[in-house]
Structure 1
């Protein structure tokens, strides 16, 4: 028998006009404790006048999160439904449909109701197909709508990662404007707004130096553009890349996926999550992956295992504890690519590798331990505290090309056998509060953090036989003798800092948002080197202390809910400049300054979101040769990057999703003692962009099929600061097709991705003439995924 709620739904109009979000965006004082979801939705209806439909059909047995404070109905619904797997869509000015996830589980067939507007879903829902993310905490450490944040933020959600079968950071950030990958000896490393991030990525807002990420437990990837040191300490000024991990969920979910593809590519992923107790106060998650692949490059292979268990304990509605562990063990062959010959690259077969020593692999073993907790004192105030420790052990077994000789055909090679230990610790404490003063809303953050890094590495380093790149003949080498040779490289590095920061997000008239804050850093960094022993490197250690205040100011005006106009000014302290000058004095740290203006939109009832930004960014204290003694360096270099960036994502129709980018990045070396003044910064394309489209068929006989295609393009990039060689412009085409169907309560997805369909040749540059890695040619990856 049809329920009264369904009768009410059928009485709703079949075609809803696009202004169905006006009341939904009005702000209300909402106070709803955590409770059974049907009761929470009834309370929301009483407090806002919004009428939820289909509640009893899908909400029974689920619990809501607590919602307290000043929120729009949209924001309150998003918080109430977090973790339930349910989504919603406004069907009129004051009515909303609560919808069950499309997970194949005995769902009732309902009459077709056409809803104009994007359904807002829990980002942690594994079945979420949306390309749109409306909130992010990466810029402010508070859960703030992106439309109200006066900074440029892009988020690549899980739906895009699935559609493109991403399993590396580089697979995700190709969908973000102004981000370009560089080859960096197998480490994750990127340039944002023209500046190198220095092998540094973030995991849940915490830096994890040198540790590569596996995507088995990654929910989404966020990119914050521009200097971010006010909340995250010393960091390169272009921005930061943050990977958000999957969290334990209340609802049980299990998945198993097998991928297979070109060049003996095999990858297995398994996930499980759910509640360990009847009251759902203790939740668990377990993610695992195994990767085994060869390469289009000679002698190159990759073997990896990744394990990531996590627990969440909620002893009360106001307190939460989280503990997670990432274990990563990888063997990979070192590959330095090809040398530039004259002004160009690409005169050699892309498979040709010049290490020439099969069986040599590096090993990387890392552990990341993350513990954090939070407590809400009341509806307005909460405290957050966390401790993260990373441990990385590297074992190097390498022979690589070092320099191309003047004959433009023989390359000198270098051996490198040894290892390095890198340990880091991060601690943070944040207090967040919301209050009003004379009608002005405040969302303040007061916090502090501590970070320390210790590195110690030692290696044998000596030249070995040269190779003719056009006719390579690899001599037999005594690898054991090289491995046991004298340790000519011995290095220690240490850095630490304490930071205290404050921030206030001020809202006036619900339209004007002002962000103000600053950070005081006390930093210490130092290094020591010796050509004889690690002990001597410790003796030669020297460090420098630097204190700096970095302000950040931003303003955003939102005249209508679909448009925001913003600007910001930021100063920062950088992460670079290890070592000492000619006089034995440690280098001053790099600093940066940015001006940025732009606008953001949420069009077609929030179906399509976009950001357009113009920025001007300068970086100072870059190391450059000492004019008195060029064998030493001084921190007087200066560079500038300015440009325009465009990002757009969302749904054009219910069937067609897109994510697109464009960046014009104009870089220039302003001050340099190498004769490079006036040149462009290396590795950065003047123009770059991408467009990815996916179509989900809804017709009865094609329902379940999806097809996607995209193009990723970049202009010419110079390979070094001298601009002595370059890689030409390229455009790469990727495609995918998938079919989803249900077997009882289980969803089965089969998918195939073809990357670089046209077999376009281009290179990942490293910044020197000898080492330029050919990008992947045409590759095919298929997969079968079971979800329950």
Structure 2
């Protein structure tokens, strides 16, 4: 069966594609790829993968997964110098990303996917920190609810970042890169087979670059050693440690509509003392044992610590010559900008433990591919935050210059310890009634506890609850190249989706005592054409986020919460990917979505208004041409439609289309690529406070030993 997904890119280790041997039955992407693999020659210009485990936790054929999955090959994406997760996934249909200094600002099908829906090797990457892609091999995006296997989530979908890790196939690679605005970096990726049972890998990456915005810069250093043992008798064990340190001069400019006309997009307003420090550490262990050809067990343990420390100015307000701000408030610093200041130290710790039992068996003529799992997670967050109402110095918005140093903060506004504990039990079964008819069914039970301790007021409060999350999908494959499906899935987010309890100044606590839910109906067709050289998919979906809450009177009765209503996203996504002819390849996708307020008891006038920062139209088209042996040239067009900056739909941000191009020389040992982003120098805003990057080039060169 050769059907593959339309948008899923090559599953690679290093720069080589692979097929997994019999041990594949032990693992998923965060486990299968830690096992021994057998190399095969594959066309790296064809950006498809045959299997995925992001949606099912075990490796399934794409055609057997009744939900949309998009995949991005990081080797392909990074030839354009794209390293930020939000920028990388922004081109995918139904995915919108705005600039957020603290995290990613990503939405999937209209709903947030930044706080608890980003995963690394199948484990939740929780906590307030930017997600580094320095050691990431590919990114998979599952559209729609995923609570059936992963527990709590916002409901739009999840993003799974899959790491480079020790294996028996990948070559050692050395690479360097350099480009516009003092961007330079390099990677040493050593993968070595010590003997037929043991492989080690050491990946080190460093990058430093400045922004096109004056004074903005960052540097990132990542190191990740890993060790894989395979006794060739069914037992496998992967151990991996990753440390990533990111230092940034943050860019917290005002919204473009809050600035006077004529301000250059290259003008930034960071204070010389501003900084953000992100420090990420993780230790992962994956042990698998295959009892026989059909049954296996896997234990995954991960400890993750993500810290963010910052001190910066933000939320600038312009006062015009008439003494008014853009919100018509009075001010006395005519023709100047004033900012607020924030200082924060936040520590996020996650202890994740999962045990999976996978098996294949038959009841009469019906085949089963079953997964049973248990999960126990502990998440701790310790924010320390100090805010000032307004920084005393005002500056010229056209020629910003700071004269004063920032003082130390006087006192903390927040000093709270949060702890969340979750226990999950889940079941999944791919039931094959015939070769043509299949059913994917799953159910998960979660029990969760949350405790919050305010160290300033010496008050604490806790909350607990439980939830059931189902998924069911019917699949019809009348012929080998065509797969039709229809699915239903449900998601939950405890504490009303807010993820934390706010402790008040007395014995009461503001929290939402019921989960927020989302549910999705999706139908689609996954197809192969031209003898499996081109794949396509069309999917239609109806996704609703409901049980949303609000405070009817936050001032006089801050402890009363009621259900506000629901939001709904409906849309269609199409894609085509693969080989058009001998020397031509395509990678494309387009989406149309209507993400609106469905019901709003708090503000009835908001009904049918579009959700903010969500484009109605989006898509991309990439075409690669191989004119001569070892040479390629590529052109890419990314489009993002207009969207509203606010919930009341008063301020609309224009859409944009960006052209990128690349030319490269490739052999088995050498890769050299020259790429240009924003080829035509388009000026646009990727968010209300962040303009898009002007024309830039990047030269990369790598050598495989």
Structure 2 residue aligned with 1:465, among 376, 392, 399? 392
Structure 1: runs of 5+ lacking an equivalent = 1-20, 26-61, 70-77, 88-120, 122-126, 530-534, 766-770
Contact 2:21 2:38 in 1 (8 A): no
Residues 1:334 and 2:250 aligned together: yes
Aligned-residue offset at 1:442: 0.4
| Structure 1 range deviating more: 215-224 or 431-440 | 215-224
2:204 corresponds, among 285, 288, 301, to 288
Kept in 1: contact 2:222–2:243 (CA 8 A): yes
Q: Deviations over 1:656-689 (max 9, x none)?
A: 2221111111011123425533311010011111
Q: 1:335 to 1:430 in 2, by over 3 A?
A: same
Q: Is the 8 A contact 1:338 1:774 kept in 2?
A: no
Give the conservation status (yes or no) of the 8 Å contact 2:247–2:275. yes
- Equivalent residue number for residue 711 of structure 1: 637
- Provide the secondary structure at the position in 2 that maps to 1:478: coil
Partner of 1:569: 488
1:504 has 2:429 as partner:
yes
Instruction: Kindly indicate whether residue 106 of structure 2 is the aligned counterpart of residue 190 of structure 1.
Output: yes
1:131–1:651: 8 Å Cα contact kept in structure 2?
Answer: no
The reply on whether 1:373 has 2:295 as its aligned counterpart is no
Shift of 1:251: 4.0
Is 2:122 aligned against 1:202? no
Flag the structure with more relative contact order, 1 or 2, with Cα contacts below 8 A and sequence separation at least 6.
Answer: 2
Match in the other structure for 2:596:
668
Cross-structure match for 2:94: 178
Query: For residues 256 and 552 of structure 1, what CA distance do their matches in structure 2 show?
Result: 44
* Partner SS for 1:547: strand
The CA distance in 1 between the partners of 2:580 and 2:285, in whole Å, is: 40
Give, in angstroms, the shift of residue 495 of structure 1. Answer: 1.7
Q: Which residue is equivalent to 2:329?
A: none
Native 8 Å contact 1:293 1:301 kept in 2: yes
- The one of 733, 746, 763 equivalent to 2:685 is 763
| Contact persistence 2:56–2:149 (CA under 8 A) | yes
Partner of 1:18: none
Alignment partners' CA distance in 2, 1:63 and 1:442? 23
- 1:745-764 matched pairs, under 5 angstroms: 747-764=669-686
Alignment partner of 2:76: what SS? helix
How many Å apart are 1:151 and its aligned residue?
1.2
Alignment of 1:85-124 (within 5 A): 85-87=39-41, 121=42
How far has the Cα of 1:630 moved from its partner? 7.4
Residues 612 and 646 of structure 2 are in contact (CA less than 8 Å); yes or no, is this contact kept in structure 1? yes
Contact 1:340 1:725 in 2 (8 A): no
Deviations 1:516-552 (A, max 9, x none): 11111112234455xxxxx225x33323212111111
- Equivalent in the alignment of 1:514: 439
C-alpha spacing 1:189/1:331, structure 2 compared with 1 (3 Å): same
2:449 pairs with one of 524, 531, 553: 524
- Please point out which of 587, 608, 620 is paired with 1:659: 587
Q: CA deviation at 1:635?
A: 5.4
Shift of 1:171: 4.6
- Higher deviation after alignment, 373-382 or 162-171: 162-171
Match of 1:551 in 2: 470
Q: Is it true that 1:133 corresponds to 2:84 in the alignment?
A: no
Q: CA deviation at 1:186?
A: 4.6
Question: How far is 1:416 from its partner?
Answer: 1.6
Shift of 1:452: 1.7
- How far apart, in 1, do the equivalents of 2:575 and 2:36 lie? 26
1:688 match: secondary structure: strand
TM-score (norm 2): 0.88
1:640 maps to which of 568, 572, 578? 568
C-alpha deviations, 1:239-292, integer Å up to 9, x for none?
A: 011111123232462111111111110121111112112xx1011111111011
Mapping 1:164-175, distance limit 5 Å = 164-175=80-91
Q: Which residue of 1 aligns with 2:37?
A: 83
Work out whether 1:267 is the aligned partner of 2:194.
no
- Post-superposition shift, 1:647? 2.4
| Native 8 Å contact 1:154 1:647 kept in 2 | no
Cα deviation for residue 128 of structure 1 reads 3.8
Alignment of 1:536 with 2:456, yes or no, is yes
- Secondary structure of 2:188's counterpart equals strand
Alpha-carbon spacing, 1:748–1:736, altered in 2? closer, same or farther (3 Å): same
Q: Which residue of 1 aligns with 2:363?
A: 437
| Contact 1:299-1:353 within 8 A present in 2 as well | yes
Counterpart CA distance in 2 for 1:511 and 1:403 is: 62
- Aligned partner of 1:12 in structure 2 is none
Q: Deviations over 1:672-727 (max 9, x none)?
A: 42553331101001111110111123xxxx32211001111111111121222121
2:302 — aligned with what? Answer: 388
- Alpha-carbon contact 1:542-1:586 (below 8 Å) kept: no
Contact 2:307–2:345, Cα closer than 8 Å, also in 1? yes
Aligned length: 658
Q: State whether residues 337 and 774 of structure 1, in contact with CA within 8 Å, keep that contact through their aligned partners in structure 2.
A: no
Distance 1:536 1:163, change over 3 A: closer
In 2, Cα distance between equivalents of 1:491 and 1:221: 33
Residue in 1 that maps onto 2:692:
775
Distance 1:654 1:212 in 2: 41
Deviation, 1:401, is: 2.4
In our comparison, the structure showing a higher alpha carbon Rg is 1
2:12: which partner in 1?
A: none
The answer to whether the 8 Å contact 1:131/1:160 transfers is no
- Residue 14 (structure 2) aligns with: none
- Shift of residue 162, structure 1, vs aligned partner: 5.3
Whether contact under 8 Å (2:590, 2:618) holds in the other structure is yes
> Residues of 2 paired with 1:723 and 1:359: CA distance?
36
- Residue 264 of structure 2 aligns with which residue? 349
8 Å contact from structure 1 (residues 755, 780) kept in 2: yes
Contact 2:681 2:694 in 1 (8 A): yes
**Deviation string, structure 1 residues 40-80 (Cα, Å, up to 9, x no partner):** xxxxxxxxxxxxxxxxxxxxxx99933799xxxxxxxx99x
Give 1:301 shift.
0.7
Contact 2:175–2:702 (CA under 8 A) maintained in structure 1: yes
Query: Conserved in 1, the CA contact under 8 Å of 2:614 and 2:643?
Result: yes
> Normalization by structure 1: what TM-score?
0.79
Task: Pick from 130, 137, 154 the counterpart of residue 236 of structure 1.
Answer: 154
- 1:226 corresponds to: 144
Q: In the alignment, what sits opposite 1:58?
A: none
1:476 paired to 2:390: no
Q: Any idea what the Cα deviations from partners look like across 1:201-259, whole Å, max 9, x if unmatched?
A: 21111111244444343222111100001101111111011111123232462111111
| Cα deviation, residue 760, structure 1 | 1.6
Distance in 1 separating the partners of 2:305 and 2:527 = 42
CA distance in 1 between partners of 2:487 and 2:414 (Å):
44
What is the distance in 2 between the residues matched to 1:145 and 1:254?
A: 29
Structure 2: any 5+ residue segments left out of the alignment?
A: 4-17, 26-31, 327-334
**Cα distance 1:437–1:493, how it changes in 2: closer, same or farther (>3 A)?**
same
Deviation (angstroms), 1:176: 2.3
Q: Aligned pair in 2 of structure 1 residues 213, 460: CA closer, same or farther (>3 Å)?
A: closer
- Flag the 1:345–1:392 CA change in 2: closer, same or farther, 3 A: farther
Of stretches 401-410 and 183-192 in structure 1, the one that deviates more from structure 2 is 401-410
Conservation of the 8 A alpha-carbon contact between 1:419 and 1:459: yes
SS in 1 for 2:292: coil
Offset, 1:741: 4.5
